[in-house]
Amino acid sequence: MNDYYTTLGVPRNATAADIKKAYRKLAREHHPDVAGPDGEAHFKSVAAAYEVLGNADKRAMYDRGVDPRAAGGGRGGAPDGFGFEDIFETFFGGGGSARRGPASRTQRGGDTLVHAEVTLEEAVFGVARQLQVDLAETCGSCEGTCCAPGTSPQPCRQCNGTGSVQRMARSLLGQVVTSSPCPACGGYGSTIDSPCHDCAGQGRTSARRTVSVDIPAGVETGTRIRMPGAGDAGPGGGPKGDLYIEIREQAHQTFERRGNDLHCTLEVPMTAAALGTVMSVETFDGARDIEVKPGTHSGSTVKLKGLGVGKLQRQGRGDFYVHLDVHTPTDLTDEQEGLLRQLAALRGEEMPEGHLAPIGGGVFARLRDAFMGRV
């Protein structure tokens, strides 16, 4: 029995990578184009050794004492499992496996992206929306066959339906066969002699369609909603891709959104802030009463729990924050001014002295905390 390990110059425990490396080196050295006619016999023995040791099943058989080449009787030409594709891979680091058979005209449709504008209120509660979308639909005339009614694709006369053509090329090994898509049929193996007039042989046409989409609560600008199988139909009657709806949220005139919370500012008269009162504020859930405690300062915040934005794909809602802005009047009448001066005199504030507030206190700190959401 031939000693294939010795032929390749590798030990019996050599890895597959070591065997391939040794084969490449010896094949280059002993190829007839390099070594001349004297190297032909050695090149064949190297190729035979790699045919066995380069195949895991054949190597296992050989290690058990059976020569697969002798057991199979041998064959002329390229050995089993070792064809031109392996030769290209050996010498040029070949790029992947070749396509087998003709390509299919039927392909999956592409994904489609459309935009939908929603108001802040719609983002709070969610909304059902009807969208007009231009999409590719399977052609109604040919039903995706790409052919005129009553006709069908015909086998390509150039490649005989295989979808590929073969050419001879020169390499270090001499002449080898290369395969490429057939230029006549584009690799499909068939030609359409009478394409459908409605879809120009594409198997699909463009149409405007109304799509119903449920936009959930909690969406915001940039949120994408995926609708599987609602996108463009594929060429040749292929399945539809997916439809993505990207949300654009409109700014609100009164309310500001911060995550799942809503914020607004409520002006409070100076007297109401000093004496305390109950005021009404509008929310997306209707009017709500809030308590303005006596001595309220600008920047104070009242929280209305659970009146904010619905949480996307979760239960519950954020909160609603009312920031109080104490309004100081600038258009006092003489009588109002007189009353205020009497109050100032009663409080000893005709000539008040200012006092610096400690760090972390005062109106600016309260406004900062309210802005940062620390309420």
Query: What is the model's pLDDT at position 243?
Result: 95
Q: Quick one: CATH architecture of 4-92? A: Orthogonal Bundle (1.10)
CB 8 within 8 Å of CB 26? yes
The CATH number that domain 256-371 falls under is 2.60.260.20
Residue 348 has pLDDT above 90, yes or no: no
Residue 356 has pLDDT above 80, yes or no: no
pLDDT, tens digit, for every residue of 134-171?
999 999 999 999 999 999 999 999 999 999 988 876 66
Q: Quick one: CATH architecture of 112-150+192-249? A: Sandwich (2.60)
Using CA atoms, how far apart are residues 273 and 373, in angstroms rounded to an integer?
A: 22
Give residue 88's identity as a one-letter amino acid code.
F
Residue 251 has pLDDT above 90, yes or no: yes
Q: Average pLDDT of 311-316?
A: 93
Q: Where in the chain do CATH 2.60.260.20 domains reside?
A: 112-150+192-249, 256-371
Question: Residue 43: which residues within 8 A CB-CB, separation 6 or more?
Answer: 27, 30, 31, 32, 35
Strand bridging mode 243-249 / 112-118:
parallel
Using CA atoms, how far apart are residues 355 and 217, in angstroms rounded to an integer?
A: 48
